[in-house]
Chains A and B, each alone.
Chain A
Amino acid sequence: MTTFSIAQSLDQALQALADGARPVAGGTDLVVGSRQGKAPLPDTVIAIDRLDELAGISLSDDQLRIGAMVTHAQLMVDPIIAEHFSAIADAAALVGSPSTRNVGTLGGNVMNGSPAMDTGAPLIVLGATAELQTTSGNRQVTMEELWVSPGKTSANADELCVALNMPARPANSGSAYVRLEYRRAMEIAVVGAAASVTLDDGGMVTDARVALTAVAATILAVDLGDALAGKPIDEASLAAVAKIASETATPISDLRATDRYRRHTVGVMARRAVEAAGRRAGGETIAIPVNRTLGIGASQ
């Protein structure tokens, strides 16, 4: 039998966690998973959806803070996110269906730790950290440190993710997330890739990052070496990105795709993500989610 309560304050939530409760945000992983028989519901569940400390998006001079309870529906239309942290908006817009996006949260997506999660690759390329809090303190963990294996994070059971933080964007920066999908809604990424690009005034890349979805036990950061740095985004550099991404991936075969296909297409996605991020860095507006403009995915 599961005991369910609703936290009225952050302290109450943290105390409940310390006492062994599991937090539930939107419940779209936790509850749906238990109904599907993945894992039974925990004995005690505490809802964290009413905590102001976990709400809202705020941009200061040097940092963006997204509360853990911010939903995908909020992320996909928030002007700050859409303009400056586009990859997150691209990803949020692809999650599930309108109802999944209305209740599913960024914190839940991150803490669920699925290697196919859509906001993961964007958070990595944007240099995000998770802010984890307990009754006794607070720490920042990078995404790479946080995700350990499918469904497993390095957070302790008493740690509540209160926010995702990331540095403000330098000028001439753009980011994008693309996902290979068979259907447009209610879909898990076959593979996906996020890219962040910063350009100098001459259009040369000064900083570039790529991360990959659904091709390893966790979201995978790609070491681009000198494939892009100091270079223009052109056929040659994009081909190099695709090759590195494919080589970095360690995908598995399942019902949806073979490892061979995933390895190939993640390269294609990485190239397209970099291309889109570069266009955005150059000042071009590409509608959210970028998938549709690039003609990836479903018909309409």
Chain B
Amino acid sequence: MSQKTGTSLGRVEDAAFLTGRARYIDDVRHPLLDGAAFVVFVRSTMAHARLVSVDASEAKNAPGVLDVVVGADHVVHPAGPTYGIPVGHVFTQPVLAETKVRYVGEPIAVVVAGTHQQAVDAAELVIVDLEPLVPVMDFDRALSDDVLLFEPGDAPQFQPSAGDHSTDGAENGNIAFETSLTAGDLNPDATVVVSERVWNPRQAPAPMEPRGIATAWDDAGDLHVWAATQRPHGFRAQLAEFYELPETNIHVIAPEVGGAFGGKVSRSVEEHILPALAQRVGRPIRWTDTRSEFLASGTQGRAERYDMTLHGTPDGMIRGIGVNLVKDLGAYPGVGTYLANGYTIPMACGTYDIGWVDFSVTCIVTNRITVGAFRGAGRAPYLAALERIIDIYANDIGMDPSDVRRRNLIQPDTMPVTTIAGATYDEADYPADLERVLAEAGYNDLRAEQVERRASGAAKQIGIGMASYCHKTAGGGGEEAHVRVNPDATAVVTTGTTSQGHSHATAWAQIASDVLGIDPANISVVEGNTDAIASGIGAVGSRSLQTAGLAIHNASTTIAENAKQLAAQLLEANASDVVLDTDTGSFHVVGTPAISVGWVDVAAEMTASPADTEGDELSCGEYYNNEGRDTYPSGAAVAVVEVDIETGHVRLTRFVSVDDAGIRVNPMIVDGQLHGGIANGLAQVFGEEVIYDDDGNLLTSNFMDYAIASIDWFPQFELHHAATASSHNALGFKAVGESGVMAATPAMHNAVVDALSHLGVRHIELPCTPERVWQSIAATVRTR
């Protein structure tokens, strides 16, 4: 069987994962980590309070305690808002709280002890005096500036001394950032105006492995960090900045990372302080947070409120979209702030040909934990709101939602196309994807069944929902890859972007194998090590394949060309006449395959004739930059639900999708990514929601209370594929990591409302919990 691009080669990483041999943070053993101390954070029990005092004297004397550090100790500079976001420095989170606390779970002090249990016990002895302030939980309250989270002078006393810390943003208040876009013209025939408020609730990235870090300083003064991170190089850059060390003196390793989903993009304050503690106590330090700690102090996603207005004609032509987005950043603005301009506004048109867009975004702070990245960040919530308002519009004008979509989708012959929101979509066929998914789902039969069910008055009613999507990927432009062919004809591919379950070890080998003709089994992949490669942005925002993948291809191509020169010497031929047979990995002269040499011969030739060569021809590093030519994977989905109108309980009976991930290197891996993404998106309809009470206490601090997705929610997904090559890169790649989320949430959401539309239900907020569904039915009964 072929093992090249397009083949569902079994994952080479599976054996280690399935037999427990994969090594995660807690499994890392290294001489530098011998005798590691443990830390426990003392966290705020109040959502918003003035920090009056912290008394650590008793804790310091507790058994086994090596150190107790509080904010006033100023052991390391805090990291200001990053990613070049124009947010005032006042919004910086101190590494340990200094004057105020702004979320339940905010670190106030940290105890370092010889054992974990000693640290736990001593943490109980730290006395924290908090003077409560009014918590700001409600979006409108935050907007009203009635209570300010950040007052003038609230910036941490201890400022970073280096780096870009923009101060041109607001310096106090609850609004950290505002942005907007108005573009195009609104056709006056848009006489139908439909509005709805669509919430996209907070959702927790819930990787199996929470955060973790192990850190040590060596005798030479170098800092070594093992971290469960999506971005080892980014992590290193931040440490370099705040510890004022050259990057070359910092060594960050991400071992196997047990999932991330955006929750390990940013370096949290907990991770940030550990090297300083290791330095203070002169011992290595390890920390892995608990599930509840992660849920209460990691980062979360979504938390967006959309006021949507659709302007259309009475016969289903969408003319304009008005959007007023209020995005909750949590207490301290993080990467979430960057999403509005970078990802949300560019997606304003979705997959539709829309002539006018009026989009405004207000990023607020509230007394909750920070909103960071989360699978589909910046796009999924908006697309869900857009697909929802389209269904409401269809309902209001009495048109089938499939017909409204048909009338408005961007046509393939216009692509690549730049929308009025400024995004340039690469090749795809949105109308064909929609038609295909409707046909595969048996849409007309489903509608007929629905009519019957309604007529029967049965307690279980069915609903059919759909959505169309495309989304921006490949942010950050480029990635570096290094490829080397060894004397024994094995090869090593090294990248800066690193897998957290993305199957790079398999896919990267396939890409290199395509060019080199070396069996993927003989190509190993090195990732997650800042010493192994100079740069890397990371596996975030569905970007590794169409950046690092190209770099691997280009580096492999250079090596193959060099190898042909060497083979030509051996074959006593002109290099231009030598071909590499990628099925066998052997070189021969065109037309005479019987006489050939292999990689082993070529490698030997290279070492044998150093004089003729300029160095290591079988080794090549490439940086690939897409120069802004982002890719837009797309597709469409249909969800079918059965709603028990007596209890409001929703069962998903079918989920059918057509996804266009561009050229697929390994279709099985693509399916795996889609399964996970779809489940992730559906979970938001079923019940995943981070809930705080009015006082700012986190109510969903474990998987019993946080309704983490369960496999029994999901039927077998029916996946179908389009594979339109993108012209935005030479290999036609798009992306898939986040795609599943995009249509899943709105398709199922639309289906739930559709099941009840005959009762007069127009919209139900996410998540569509049984109680909420039941209440929406009860409300229509009351008003009827």
Contact = CB atoms under 8 A, between A and B. Distances in A.
Contact of B710 (A261, A265, A298): A298
A274 to B, nearest CB: 14
Interface stretch (B51-59, B170-178, B256-264, B639-647): B639-647
Given A255-B700, A295-B460, A300-B714, A268 B647 contact: yes
A143 B324 CA distance: 57
A287 interface: no
Which of the four size classes fits the interface of chain B? 20 to 34
A188 B705 CA distance: 10
Interface in B137-185: none
A298 B686 CA distance: 10
Contact of B651 (A188, A258, A298): A298
A299 interface: yes
B13 interface: no
A140 to B, nearest CB: 35
B652 A186 contact: no
Contact of B774 (A184, A185, A261): A261
Interface in A139-161: none
Contacts of B652: 299
Given A255-B700, A257-B771, A296 B710 contact: no
B712 A295 contact: no
Nearest to A262: B771
B771 A185 contact: no
Nearest to A37: B292
Contacts of A36: 702
Contacts of B699: 255
Nearest to A181: B649
Contacts of A182: 686-687, 707, 769-770
Contact of B770 (A180, A184, A188, A295): A180
A186 B649 contact: no
B713 A299 contact: yes
B715 interface: yes
A232 interface: no
B293 to A, nearest CB: 13
A298 B774 contact: no
B653 interface: yes
Contact of B646 (A185, A188, A255, A268): A268
Contacts of A295: 460, 642, 644, 651
Contact of A255 (B651, B705, B714, B715): B705
Nearest to B772: A261
A298 B713 contact: yes
B704 interface: yes
Contacts of A258: 771
Contacts of A190: 770
A169 interface: no
Nearest to B646: A268
A191 B168 CA distance: 54
Contacts of B646: 265, 268
A261 B769 CA distance: 12
A127 interface: no
B769 A180 contact: no
Interface string B559-582: 000000000000000000000000
Interface string B444-480: 0000000000000000100000000000000000000
Interface string B709-724: 0111111000000000
Interface in B757-777: 769-771, 774-775
B772 to A, nearest CB: 9
B771 A296 contact: no
Interface in A102-155: none
B649 A297 contact: yes
B691 interface: yes
A264 interface: yes
Nearest to A242: B646
Contacts of B687: 182-183
A139 B647 CA distance: 41
B712 A300 contact: yes
A295 B641 CA distance: 12
Interface string B679-692: 00000001100010
Interface string A242-285: 00000000000001011001001100100000000000000000
Interface in B696-754: 699-700, 702-705, 707, 710-715
A97 to B, nearest CB: 10
A185 B707 CA distance: 11
Given A299-B713, A299-B714, A264 B653 contact: no
A240 to B, nearest CB: 16
Contacts of B642: 295
A180 B715 contact: no
23 contacts: A36-B702, A180-B647, A182-B687, A183-B710, A184-B713, A186-B703, A188-B704, A190-B770, A255-B691, A255-B699, A257-B771, A261-B774, A261-B775, A264-B774, A265-B770, A265-B774, A268-B646, A296-B644, A298-B651, A298-B713, A299-B651, A299-B652, A299-B653
Given A36-B702, A182-B687, A299-B653, 17 more contacts: A183-B687, A184-B712, A184-B713, A186-B703, A186-B704, A255-B700, A255-B705, A265-B646, A265-B770, A265-B774, A295-B460, A295-B644, A296-B649, A298-B651, A298-B712, A299-B714, A300-B715
